[in-house]
């Protein structure tokens, strides 16, 4: 037992001593905008990054400067085994951090080896004027809500220049977006703000703008923009339920696609430039999930190869429509029947009263009006009928209150079919609105009398 215990104890102590050994962090900084020349005399920080989820602020551990060859070095010291540290240079008001120490070997688990003695730090000049940009991928995801659809747009932006675009104009807008005019609750995803503190969306006269630096492709960091918004179905009768997601292409786009889950397959996508519905795997937040997509272009098209699938300035027509539920069609048939039946029911008593009036006129030796005279009175609106029969339905029945009730019942049917309303609530509310509709239709016939 003793023969095995002491060697293991010795190994454990050796491992602890090794992990506690001082580490020197050093490397070289270069300017990618100037043919990777050494960055001379630049201040370099060794930082422990902020962790917004745990409400931990960024901490500067040490500072130094690059020498004439762009080299920098921090004094040797012991770091925690869980530390993930970054070397950072600020250039033109923008930070360029790079991993300098991975004490917990977390990055090694995903194939990234960090050598603290060979840190390579690349920085770039900045620009406040437009630079060549394009979209490698533009992903528009849609899902249903109680009143319409929820949209998430995920965009990967490429900067083909050798400078970091800080933003143009006094509001420092780096990207322009053409979103639907009816979009509401437009928000930037928190992950974008975490990756680029200070990032935000700004509404402009012609659309929306994104405020966040866009680094060059050579920097190796992905410029991702993720935003979301809601769209409501038009407030008209349900057979006109279509949402317009059309837009003008602002930047050349290699791959554009609309995606929805199979739970939303009842949506019809009308987009002449995009492919028909196709099932395909789509990477969503680190996972691959099957989606129904309508696309144009190729997702893995090499940079500088084939021309973009969509050129800047093109109009991209996209419409999302929703079929009317089967429940509503039965309800619509009932409504149409009421529109036709109620006027006729109201006409019969009028005819009876008219006949009695004519009989009284004959007893009083008054001349009976001719058929032509009755037609003339009818067409002028002074006769015993309310309106020409071919105009009775829409003219008398569908007043404003009736239309509102029809819309409410149609929306309730949709919510019930989507499982958003329980059976008891559905039956009670539908019966109440149906009764109100019948009374409204009757009132619309009776009110002009």
Do the Cβ atoms of 121 and 89 come closer than 8 Å?
Answer: yes
Q: Domain 133-321 is of which CATH architecture?
A: Sandwich (2.60)
* Regions of the chain where pLDDT drops below 70: 1-20, 52-54, 236-240, 300-305, 324-399, 439-449
Q: Which residues of 315-350 are buried (b: 16+ CB within 10 A; e: fewer)?
A: ebebebebebbebbeebbeebeebbeebbeebbeee
CATH of domain 22-123: 2.60.40.1120
Using DSSP, state whether 268 is helix, strand or coil: strand
**Contacts by 383-392, CB closer than 8 A, 24 or more apart:** 384/350, 384/351, 384/353, 384/354, 385/347, 385/350, 386/343, 386/346, 386/347, 386/445, 386/448, 386/449, 389/343, 392/339, 392/340, 392/343
Residues 6+ apart with CB under 8 A from 278: 292, 293, 294, 295
Helix (H) or strand (E) holding 364: none
CA distance between the termini of the chain: 109
Residue 318 φ then ψ, to 5°: -140, 125
- Beta strands 125-127; 163-165: pairing state: parallel
Neighbours of 98 (CB within 10 A): 19
Phi, psi of 39 (to 5 degrees): -90, 110
For the chain, where do the domains classified as CATH 2.60.40.1120 start and end? Answer: 22-123
- Mind listing the pLDDT tens digit for each residue in 109-135? 777 889 999 999 999 999 999 999 999
278-312 CB burial, b ≥16 within 10 A, e <16:
eeeebeeeeeeeebbbbbbbebebeeeeeebbbee
Taking alpha carbons only, the member of 160, 30, 175 closest to residue 89 is 30
**For residues 202 and 173, is the Cβ–Cβ distance under 8 A?**
yes
**Measured CA angle at 180 (ends 178, 182), to 5 deg:** 145
Buried b (16+ CB within 10 A) or exposed e, 14-23: eeeeeeeeeb
Q: For the whole prediction, is pTM greater than 0.75? A: no
Q: Is the distance from CB of 1 to CB of 57 less than 8 angstroms?
A: no
Give the contacts of 13 (CB within 8 A, at least 6 positions apart). none
- Count Cβ atoms within 10 A of the Cβ of residue 390 and give its class: 0-12 exposed, 13-18 middle, 19 or more buried: exposed
Task: For residue 232, count other CB atoms closer than 10 A to its CB.
Answer: 14
How confident is the model at residue 377, as a pLDDT?
A: 42
3-class SS of residue 337: helix
């Amino acid at each position: 037992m003793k023969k095995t215990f002491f060697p293991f104890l010795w190994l454990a102590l050796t491992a602890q001593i090794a992990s506690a050994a001082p580490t020197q962090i050093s490397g070289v900084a270069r300017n990618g905008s100037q043919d990777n020349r050494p960055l001379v005399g630049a201040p370099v920080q060794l930082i422990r990054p902020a962790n917004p989820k745990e409400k931990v602020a960024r901490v500067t551990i040490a500072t130094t400067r690059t020498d004439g060859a762009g080299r920098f070095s921090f004094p040797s010291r012991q770091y925690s085994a869980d530390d993930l540290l970054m070397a950072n240079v600020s250039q033109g008001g923008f930070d360029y951090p790079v991993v300098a120490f991975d004490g917990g070997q977390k990055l090694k688990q995903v194939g990234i080896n960090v050598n603290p003695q060979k840190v390579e730090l690349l920085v770039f000049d900045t620009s406040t004027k437009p630079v060549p940009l394009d979209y490698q991928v533009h992903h528009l995801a849609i899902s249903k809500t109680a009143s319409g659809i929820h949209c998430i747009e995920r965009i990967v932006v490429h900067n083909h220049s050798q400078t970091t675009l800080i933003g143009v104009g006094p509001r420092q807008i780096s990207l322009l977006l053409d979103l639907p005019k009816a979009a509401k609750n437009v928000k930037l995803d928190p992950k974008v703000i975490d990756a680029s503190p200070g990032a935000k969306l700004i509404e402009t006269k012609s659309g929306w703008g994104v405020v966040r630096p866009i680094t060059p492709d050579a920097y190796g960091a992905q410029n991702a923009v993720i935003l979301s918004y809601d769209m409501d179905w038009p407030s008209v009768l349900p057979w006109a339920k279509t949402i317009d997601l059309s837009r003008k292409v602002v930047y050349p786009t290699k791959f554009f696609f609309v995606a929805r889950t199979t739970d939303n397959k009842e949506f019809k996508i009308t987009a002449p430039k995009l492919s028909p519905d196709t099932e395909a795997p789509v990477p969503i937040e680190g996972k691959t999930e099957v989606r129904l997509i309508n696309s144009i272009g190729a997702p893995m098209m090499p940079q500088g190869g084939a021309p973009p699938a969509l050129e800047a300035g093109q109009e991209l027509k996209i419409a999302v429509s929703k079929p009317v539920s089967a429940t509503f069609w039965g309800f619509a048939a009932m409504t149409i029947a009421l529109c036709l039946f109620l006027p006729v029911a109201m006409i019969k008593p009028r005819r009876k009263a008219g006949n009695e009036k004519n009989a009284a006129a004959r007893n009083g030796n008054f001349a009976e009006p001719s058929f032509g005279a009755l037609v003339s009175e009818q067409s002028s609106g002074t006769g015993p009928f309310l309106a020409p029969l071919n105009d009775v339905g829409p003219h008398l029945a569908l007043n404003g209150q009736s239309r509102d009730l029809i819309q409410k019942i149609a929306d309730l049917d949709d919510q019930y079919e989507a499982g958003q309303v329980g059976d008891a609530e559905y039956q009670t509310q539908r019966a109440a609105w149906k009764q109100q509709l019948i009374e409204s239709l009757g009132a619309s016939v009776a009110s002009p009398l």
